[in-house]
Amino acid sequence: MMILDGKTLSQKIIDDLSLEIRNLNLHPVLDIIIVGDDPSSQKYVQLKQKRAESIGINGTVHQLNQNATTQEVISLIEKLNQDKNVSAFMVQLPLPPQIDTPKVLSKIDPDKDADGLNPFNLGLLFQKKSTGSAPATACGIIRLLEEYQIDIGGKNAVIIGRSSEVSIPLFALLLGKNATVTICHSHTENLQEICKKADIIISAIGKPKFLTKDFIKDQAIVIDVGFGIDKNGQVSGDFDFDEVSKIAEFITPVPGGVGPMTIASLLYNTVQIAKNQNL
């Protein structure tokens, strides 16, 4: 078993971005919109801002009230779309239930879309277009597989979860790398049987230790996007790491796997956007 070390790779990517920013004399600005006071989202936004500032990406966190309306979020997005001093921005998800998330994401200028979640940019993925920003988590997972020289072509890849933020763009990226891709979800029948056939299995459902070794075939490549607290109060991903790591060929840890790669990919997108604006 080999650990897919997202922490080390993300630092390498961020160091390269820092050098690029200095060499090109770029001044990227990444703003973040967050609605409400969810502790996990607050912590994640702080981490993103800290990592951005460490390499010369400035920006503002726009904090909106938990009871903010869809229109209030859209008004802020339209303001940032027009602000020439803001290179790129993103909306921290999930949003409170009263907010129409698809409508909000559709209002982001595709050319300022740091997290790649505007429907236009998502559509480009399915056309195998290299233009536009790819969603940060999905992009980070592909980069991690490539770093460890894992051949995706021809592999049977199973994604558990069907979110538009992670699973759908990951489907497009894996398909673009010539994998055979299956998406499973809460209505999928025979989930265990499907998972046991996967060469690459990726879960993004947020259920700590939901997937045991009985879901994994020997020498599978296991990517854990989940993050939660198990019944013992410990941080855990969707996979039971202690069990699954004994039979997997490669596995991402939680924390230290996909999370750092998501931030690195977000900053990578921001730098690419800033470079395009400087042309």
What does the alpha-carbon distance between residue 157 and residue 152 come to, in Å, rounded to a whole number?
Answer: 8
Which residue in the list 5, 31, 48, 224 is annotated as catalytic? 48
**Cross-strand pairs, 63:** 34
**3-state SS assignment for residue 211:** strand
Q: Examine the residue annotation and report whether 238 is marked as an active-site residue of this protein.
A: no
Residue spans of beta strands (DSSP E) within the chain: 2-3, 30-35, 61-64, 88-91, 156-160, 180-184, 200-203, 221-224, 228-229, 235-236, 250-251
Which residue in the list 5, 31, 115, 224 is annotated as catalytic? 115
CA proximity to 225, closest of 214, 215, 211: 211
Q: Examine the residue annotation and report whether 115 is marked as an active-site residue of this protein.
A: yes
Tokens 């891709």 correspond to what residue? 181
Local structure of residue 86 (DSSP, 8 states): -
Inter-residue contact 217 to 194 (CB < 8 Å): no
Tokens 């559709």 correspond to what residue? 106
Q: Examine the residue annotation and report whether 11 is marked as an active-site residue of this protein.
A: no
The reply to whether omega before 135 is within 30° of 0 (cis) is: no
Tokens 């597989």 correspond to what residue? 145
178: its two tokens: 């010539």
**3-state SS assignment for residue 135:** coil
Q: Who's near 235: CB < 8 A, 6+ residues apart?
A: 227, 228, 229, 254, 255
Which residue in the list 5, 31, 49, 92 is annotated as catalytic? 92
Active centre residues (catalytic): 48, 92, 115
